[in-house]
Amino acid sequence: MSVAQPVNPFLAQMGIKLLKWEEGYAEFEMPIQTWHMNRQGALQGGVVSTLVDAACGYAGFYAPPGQPEVHGVTITLNVNFVSSTNSGVLKAVAKKIGGGRKIFFSEAQVFTETGVLIASGQGSFKYRTK
């Protein structure tokens, strides 16, 4: 199943691709590149944080095809770094876990392609009104 890719130049530049997107759920993947590494040759924490932020946000910003896009901003983001890697493809899976009309909460996990947990995180997000 092909998922329509929302326009997000930053995620595109990072090589992050949306795999699955539905109400309350988002799934991304990112092939690790050499420029994603830190000085020690491990995956840069900011790259992992970006995956957690994107997945958590998209889990709450879903709009069905044909409906107006939903946008918002991150209020808080907590990332727990569990393990590290320096090659392969990462997968971020997130779900919306609560919220109301203006703010929602979600959580995500980032895994290697072999299923090793790299990070987990939680965020709160505010819907943006036009």
* Residue 75's CATH number: 3.10.129.10
Cβ–Cβ < 8 Å for 51, 110: yes
Q: How many domains does the chain contain in total?
A: 1
This prediction has a pTM of 0.92
Q: Report whether 31 contacts 22 (CB < 8 A).
A: no
pLDDT at 3: 67
Q: How far apart are CA 124 and CA 56, in angstroms?
A: 8
Instruction: Please give the distance of CA 92 from its chain centroid, rounded to a whole number.
Output: 6
Give bridge partners of residue 31 from the DSSP assignment.
Answer: 89
Are 90 and 33 contacting, i.e. CB atoms less than 8 angstroms apart?
no
**114 is a domain residue:** yes
What pLDDT is attached to residue 129?
A: 78
Using the predicted structure, report yes or no on whether residue 112 has a pLDDT greater than 50: yes
pLDDT tens digit sequence for 21-80: 999 999 999 999 999 999 999 999 999 999 999 999 999 999 998 899 999 999 999 999
For residue 84, is it within any domain? Answer: yes
Position 91 in a domain = yes
Domain membership flag for residue 96: yes
Within a domain: 2: no
Read off the pLDDT of each residue in 99-116 and give the average, rounded to a whole number: 97
pLDDT at 130 over 70: no
* Residue 1: pLDDT band with limits 50, 70, 90: very low
The residue behind tokens 């050499």 is 34
Instruction: Say if residues 74 and 105 touch (Cβ distance below 8 Å).
Output: no
In a domain, 55, yes or no: yes
User: Residue 45 falls within a domain, yes or no?
Assistant: yes
Three-class secondary structure of residue 46 per DSSP: helix
- Would you place residue 5 in the very low, low, confident or very high pLDDT band (cuts 50, 70, 90)? low
Q: Is residue 4 domain-resident?
A: no
Average pLDDT, the chain: 93
| Domain interval for residue 45 | 9-127
